Amino acid sequence: MDHPRLAVENPATGRPITTVPDDGPADVDKAVRTAVGAWPAWRVSDRHAALMSCAVVVEEAAPVLAPVLTEEQGKPLREAKAEFAEAAARFRYFAGARAGPHLVGNGPVAAITPWSFPVRLAAAELAPSFAAGDTVVLTPSPHTPLTTLHLGRMLAEVLPPGVLTVLTGRDPLGERLAAAPGLRRPAPEPGGNDPAIVLPGTDPALIAESLFWSAFTNCGQLCTAVERVYAVGSAYEGVVEALAALAAKVVVGDGRTPGTQIGPVNNRPRHARVTGLTEEARSDGARIVTGGPLDGPGYFFAPAIVADAYDRMRVVAEAQFGPVLPVVRCSTVDEALGLANATTPGSRASVWGKDEEHAMAVAARLEYGTVWVNEHQAS
């Protein structure tokens, strides 16, 4: 009986690229048994060389696999290449780590990675796991399995047998992997609905570009993206106008085309959700200053600036994870803080203002794990 296959789509065309294995319960069981069996033999003395070899593999694979990543994920080619560079750096960093009180293995690891940054986030799971002596069963998103599958096969060649297994398949595959017997320490990494507060007296020209790309990098498909802006008093109109001006001139297109700044939304369901939230906001009285869904083929969506938004709109209350940015008018800083803290919070926020000392004081009142001043998602 032939192994089932899963079609992989190019979001710039909406058409299939190729297929990958659609792994099932028997494949999960086999992968887990392999990881469990390989764990005791994964020696400390082998790990440094293995991690350095992984870094070399990632670097050498980049010219071939970065275009594949762009084709299946949609991001501009330069950003796909950057993912490979970041992944290689991650392996090199952990090659310098040593097992000890601060780096202790857990045993076989089940790693389920999203479609937003397939290579970067795979390396973020693999490198520390390998350094600690863990074996890994890696499952990429069904929307972006191709690059991870190819790269995983290359990495497996420089690792001891059974240390890395890559499974591909539909969404229930990750659920089956997470439900494997003996799972002890789940470590989910949720996204968020990150707010940005712009204080009165802020010069929009000085912050607009940084704020814009904090929201729209990777087509807004970033767990640390700004998802909502609260502009206080006199800052409101200028912020809306400056963001809209940037959105209107940004180049949206196929990530393989030189000059493209923002690629398509990664998949049909996400495109439908972003479109739905935008149209619902319009129906509820918001003003779509610029942006919205573009004609196909593909899942293109011009960055949308949503003015006259308010906190009960779903486009504000829920993370869009896409190229939409609502801007809420607030009369006072206290109002902005109340709305930012009340709406389903994420783990990050930012405050933007001319007076850095005042901005720091406002930042201290935000109930988030990380708060930046005059920047967001700083690396």
**Is 59 assigned a catalytic role?**
no
* Tokens 């593909």, located at residue: 298
The tokens of 182 are what? Answer: 């003996």
Q: How far is residue 139's CA from residue 106's CA, in Å, rounded to a whole number?
A: 18
Give the distance, in angstroms, between the CA of residue 88 and the centroid of all CA atoms in the same chain: 18
Q: Specify the long-range contacts of residues 272-279, CB closer than 8 Å, at least 24 apart.
A: 273/320, 273/322, 274/301, 274/320, 274/321, 274/322, 274/323, 274/324, 275/301, 277/314, 277/315, 277/318, 277/320, 277/324, 278/304, 278/306, 278/315, 278/324
Angle at CA of residue 243, ends 225 and 72, nearest 5° = 45
Q: What is the 3-state secondary structure (H, E, C) of 85-119?
A: HHHHHHHHHHHCCCCECCECCCCCEEEECCCCCHH
Identified catalytic residue from 9, 54, 83, 223: 223
Determine contact, residues 144/113, Cβ cutoff 8 Å: no
Q: How far is residue 28's CA from residue 181's CA, in Å, rounded to a whole number?
A: 11
**Is 223 assigned a catalytic role?**
yes
- Biggest distance spanned by C-alpha atoms of the chain: 68
Other Cβ atoms closer than 10 A to 264 = 29
Instruction: Output b/e per residue, 193-232; b: 16+ Cβ within 10 A.
Output: bbbbbbbbebebeebbeebbbbbbbbbbbbbbbbbbbbbb
| H-run or E-run covering 69 | helix 44-73
Q: How far is residue 40's CA from residue 239's CA, in Å, rounded to a whole number?
A: 57
Question: Helix or strand or coil: residue 288?
Answer: strand
The one-letter code for the residue type at 351 is: V
Determine contact, residues 67/77, Cβ cutoff 8 Å: yes
Give the distance, in angstroms, between the CA of residue 103 and the centroid of all CA atoms in the same chain: 26
Identified catalytic residue from 60, 175, 189, 356: 189
Catalytic residues: 189, 223
